[in-house]
Amino acid sequence: MALGRHSTAWDISLWARRADAAEEAARVLPHCAVSTNLSEVVESCDLAVLCTSPHAIATAGPELKKLLPASAIVTDAGSVKAKIVAALEPVLGGRFVGAHPMAGSEQSGIQAAREDLFDGAVCLLTPTASTDPSALEAVRALWSAAGCVLREMGASEHDRAIARISHLPHATAASLVHAAVGANPSLAELGGGGYRDSTRIAGGPESMWTEIFLDNRDELLAGITDLQTALETLKLALQNGHRNALEAFLYDARRLRSQKPSTE
CB of 11 to a second copy, least distance (A): 29
Non-local CB neighbours of 76 within 8 Å, separated by 6+ positions: 49, 50, 51, 57, 84, 88, 98, 99
CB of 161 to a second copy, least distance (A): 6
The smaller minimum CB distance to a second copy, of residues 95 and 167, is found at: 167
CB of 113 to a second copy, least distance (A): 15
CB of 248 to a second copy, least distance (A): 8
The smaller minimum CB distance to a second copy, of residues 44 and 105, is found at: 105
In contact, 2 and 146? CB cutoff 8 Å: yes
CB of 62 to a second copy, least distance (A): 25
The smaller minimum CB distance to a second copy, of residues 140 and 167, is found at: 167
The smaller minimum CB distance to a second copy, of residues 12 and 253, is found at: 253
CB of 242 to a second copy, least distance (A): 10
The smaller minimum CB distance to a second copy, of residues 61 and 147, is found at: 147
The smaller minimum CB distance to a second copy, of residues 83 and 170, is found at: 170
CB of 262 to a second copy, least distance (A): 6
The smaller minimum CB distance to a second copy, of residues 33 and 250, is found at: 250
Three-state SS letters, the chain? CCCCCCCCCCCCEEECCCHHHHHHHHHHCCCCEEECCHHHHHCCCCEEEECCCHHHHHCCHHHHHHHCCCCCEEEECCCCCHHHHHHHHHHHHHHEEEEEECCCCCCCCHHHCCCCCCCCCEEEEECCCCCCHHHHHHHHHHHHHHCCEEEECCHHHHHHHHHHHHHHHHHHHHHHHHHHHCCCHHHHHHCCHHHHHHHHHHHCCHHHHHHHHHHCHHHHHHHHHHHHHHHHHHHHHHHCCCHHHHHHHHHHHHHHHCCCCCCC
